[in-house]
Structure 1
Amino acid sequence: MKTIAIAGTFDTKGEEYLYIKQLAEELGLRALMIHTGVFEPAFQPDVSNREVASAAGVELDELAAKKDRALATEVLSKGLEKLVPRLYQEGKFDGIISFGGTGGTSLVAPAMRALPIGVPKVLVSTVASGNTAPYVGTSDIMMIPSVVDVSGLNSISTRIFSNAMFAIAGMLLFEADYEPEKKPLVAATMFGVTTSCVTEARKYLEERGYEVLVFHATGIGGQSMEALIEAGFIEGVLDLTTTEWADELIGGVLNAGPHRLEAAGRNRIPQVVSVGALDMCNFGPADTVPEKFKDRKFYHHNPTVTLMRTTVEENEQLGRKLAEKLNMATESTVLMLPLGGISAIDVEGQPFYGPEEDRMLFDTLRRQVDRSRVELIEMDEAINDPAFAGAAAQKLIDLMQAAKA
């Protein structure tokens, strides 16, 4: 019999969680009740709030005496983040569900994110229809809008809660019979303007027995890839599209944070890196572009995406940053420069064609990259040329084979 962990503040929401527990049992699931509130629960949980607080190194009575809700949420969240993965590893549950407003969502989400990808995670929340990135991060949490407040049972909340339970019950009770062939996993980064390159490289790798996971370089894509590398899923990285660094340094909307391009080097995972789409910084609709950029060169990709050409000065900055990250690696790292153009619109006759800007990027990388750590390969072709894609894919294969030798 499968077990579902039900996490929440049972001191004020006993009615809702008892309903969920009853429904879980009617569906043939065991329920592991985890109390995340500060005060005494409305019913006896399987995992007490004292255990949650203790996992964070704090005594619950001391926490309650301070009467500081923000502090309590922070402490209990940290405790739950440590406790929940441990309970999962001990085989105490198979999936997890929770319900809450902003506080409850913030408290439980880190614990869900700490669970492995593939473990069913459902979070019914009042903030599920807004910006969910702070809660979901790079995980596979399924967030469901609560529609009404998570407070008591009514004709709307009961239907939403029931649907959420039916959803996670389906995840737990039904498993696919299909077991894919185990192949070495390669992560690749792609953007619309590097699609031809990555598609060709992916085909090349798949024909030679590799499975390729493609990540769209839109900020969360790069973060997700880095997280999977850290988690040990990936055996090789084809990071041909590093455009997220342009957004990070210049102020675009698709940045992946300051630790992008670190995981492979830190974990000694073979990586082939290029400068795909560093000719652009991304914004939303044209009227959302900051005023300070009004005199720059733009390309309106579609009504909701506006691209801004990077300048000579920005390309020097980008070259320094990429070199800094690549120099963190100790082995199995190659940087490939497509001298003919770094995106589909950075070739002769296209709107972002910029020989001077690209030259600065290339020259900076040539100066700043530590050749004792990083192999530098230059090719005359543009990044979307099949010859460049094939060479990058084969180089990664060579690195992965050498790493196993």
Structure 2
Amino acid sequence: MKKVYIVGTCDTKFAELDYARSATRQAGAEAVLVDVGTQSAHPGADIAAREVAANHPSGAAAVLSQADRGKAISAMAEALTIFLQECNDIGAVLGLGGTGNTALVTRAMRDLPVGVPKLMVSTVASGNVAPYVGPNDIAMMYSVVDIAGLNAISRKVIGNAAHAAAGMALNPPPLSADDRPGVGMTMFGVTTACVTQLRDMLGDAYELFVFHATGVGGQSMEKLVDSGLLQAVIDVTTTEVPDLLVGGVFPATEDRFGAIIRTRIPYVGSVGAVDMVNFGAKETVPAAFRDRRLHVHNAQVTLMRTTPEENRRIGAFIVERLNRMEGPVRFLLPLQGISAIDAPGQPFHDPAADEALFSTIRAGWKAAPNRQLIELDAHINSPEFAAALAANFHAITA
């Protein structure tokens, strides 16, 4: 039977953690109490804080000898991440705590694969939880009262969380009977025509997962790659890169493309919608950009055309990461336009800006047997380009 790992700081929250352990066992699941306290040891834990801290790359002393609490929490988070990665009997992870322990435990949860149950009971779970959750399947449960002693409310909340974690550990969903390879695809409104054609061309041979390229969309796709749940990627729309580099509202992280580099899965990509940086309603566009070429996509989204200089930065970012991919790679450049509004007669048509992007990728490209850079005299939403994407996908996945 896989176990519920209950994680918290026993030096300050032992009574609450012990209550969660008892409730989990009463629900029929095995429970392991993991102490991540950095101030003093507690004999009641199943896994002592020093045992967790020993997983830090610099040893337990790097965690437990820290005088600064913030540094100690960060170091313990790194140690816990490694500790949980090496456990092969996790049925669920249940964390309890305030701001410090929430940051600590969710840091480790974020590195676990999608599908491993993760539940965090937290004093900050009713606010903005994006920094704690990211593109992961972490369930955040508001503690209502502070986790500072047991009372009628905290017993109810903690007990419910323990029963939920036990239920997830005891009742894992059956594996899908669908054995088709999972393929991730990125899409934006201005590349929808390309992706729609591509989906039709790939037919029913693959299980297709389309991700809206809104920052967290790309992160979610790459999290599934890291979790082994996608076997290939067709990354049509890399628009999150401009938002990262220029300052838009849908940014990638610095780890964009990192999952492809790490896993070496087949990758077909392009430069869809990198002609734009995304902002909210027009009045929210930063003052520094209000004289730029803007296009109101809808009442809540305003697009800004990228300049040649910005496109050189974008191209350099992309090609540097493509050169680090050791799996099969095909990267396609649509020379007649990279979005629905980057075509003759459209508001973002700018051949000079596009050429700055293309020439930077050409110049930075490092030829290798596993990688090919392919240029087509076609628009990204044309049937010719969609067909080329499909053909190259089949070529590296056959």
| TM-score, length-scaled by structure 2 | 0.88
The alpha-carbon deviation at position 33 of structure 1 amounts to 0.9
Tell me if the contact between 2:91 and 2:168 (Cα under 8 Å) persists in the aligned partners.
no
How far does residue 3 in structure 1 lie from its aligned partner after superposition?
A: 2.3
> CA offsets, 1:43-83, max 9 Å, x none?
611111121222225457x9667653223323322222222
Task: Give 1:224's aligned residue.
Answer: 220
Distance 1:252 1:36, change over 3 A: same
How far apart, CA to CA, are the structure 2 residues paired with 1:249 and 1:58? 36
Amino acid at match of 1:242: T
Q: Does 1:291 align with 2:287?
A: yes
Matched residue of 1:348: which SS? coil
1:270 corresponds to 2:266: yes
Structure 2 distance, partners of 1:225, 1:239, is 10
Distance 1:66 1:176 in 2: 42
Query: Do 1:189 and 1:241's aligned partners in 2 also have CA atoms closer than 8 Å?
Result: yes
The Cα offsets for residues 303-347 of structure 1, whole Å up to 9 and x where unpaired, read as: 332211112332233233333332334563222222332112223
Deviates most, 131-140 or 109-118: 131-140
C-alpha contact (below 8 Å) 1:235/1:269 kept by paired residues:
yes
How far did residue 396 of structure 1 move? 0.8
Residue in 2 aligned with 1:247? 243
Match of 2:8 in 1: 8
Aligned position for 1:318: 314
- Structure 2 CA distance for partners of 1:263 and 1:97, relative to 1, 3 Å: closer
Matched, 1:37 2:40: no
Superposition deviation, residue 230 in structure 1: 4.3
1:77/1:110 contact within 8 Å kept: yes
Counterpart of 2:277, as a letter, is C
Contact 1:12–1:42 (8 Å) recurs in 2: no
**Aligned-partner residue type, residue 132 of structure 2:** Y
Of 224-233 and 4-13, the range deviating more from structure 2 = 224-233
Q: 1:276 deviation in Å? A: 0.3
SS of residue matched to 1:13: helix
Sequence identity (%): 45
CA distance in 1, matches of 2:190, 2:66: 55
Query: What is the aligned residue count?
Result: 396
Amino acid paired to 1:377: I
CA 1:262 to 1:25, structure 2 compared with 1: closer, same or farther past 3 Å?
closer
**Structure 2 CA distance, aligned partners of 1:211 and 1:75?**
39
- Cα deviation, 1:72-97, whole Å, max 9, x if unaligned, reads 323322222222222x31x2x41110
In 1, the alpha carbon distance for the partners of 2:376 and 2:63 equals 61
Q: Distance in 2 between matches of 1:22 and 1:77?
A: 25
Deviation, structure 1 residue 244:
1.2
Closer/same/farther in 2, CA of residues 183 and 244 from structure 1, 3 Å limit: same
Cα distance in 2, alignment partners of residues 27 and 267 from structure 1: 38
For residues 226 and 64 of structure 1, do their structure 2 counterparts lie closer, same or farther at Cα, with a shift above 3 Å needed? closer
Over aligned residue pairs, what C-alpha RMSD do you find?
Answer: 2.7
3-state DSSP of counterpart to 2:54: helix
Q: Distance in 2 between matches of 1:175 and 1:72?
A: 34
The farther-off stretch of 93-102 and 344-353 is 344-353
CA 1:247–1:175: 2 relative to 1, 3 Å: same
Ranges in structure 1 where 5+ consecutive residues have no aligned partner: none
Q: Could you report, residue by residue, the CA deviation over 1:251-275 in whole angstroms, capped at 9, with x for unpaired residues?
A: 1122212332344356443322111
Cα pair distance change 1:175/1:126, threshold 3 Å: same
Residue 53 of structure 2 corresponds to 53
Distance 1:59 1:334 in 2: 44
In structure 2, the CA distance between the partners of 1:159 and 1:194, relative to structure 1 (3 Å rule), is: farther
Residues 327 and 121 of structure 1: CA distance in aligned 2, closer, same or farther (over 3 Å) = same
Q: CA separation in 2, counterparts of 1:59 and 1:215?
A: 40
Does residue 400 of structure 1 match 2:385? no
Counterparts of 2:208 and 2:92 in 1: how far apart (Å)?
28
Which ranges of 4 or more aligned residues in structure 1 deviate by more than 6 Å? none
For normalisation by structure 1, the TM-score amounts to: 0.87
- CA deviations over 1:195-254 (Å, ceiling 9, x no partner): 2212321332243x2222222222222233334434554432211111111112211122
- CA positional deviation for 1:104: 0.6
Question: Are 1:306 and 2:302 counterparts?
Answer: yes
Partner of 1:342: 338
Bigger shift: residues 193-202 or 133-142: 133-142
| SS state at 2:70 partner | helix
Distance 1:265 1:69 in 2: 35
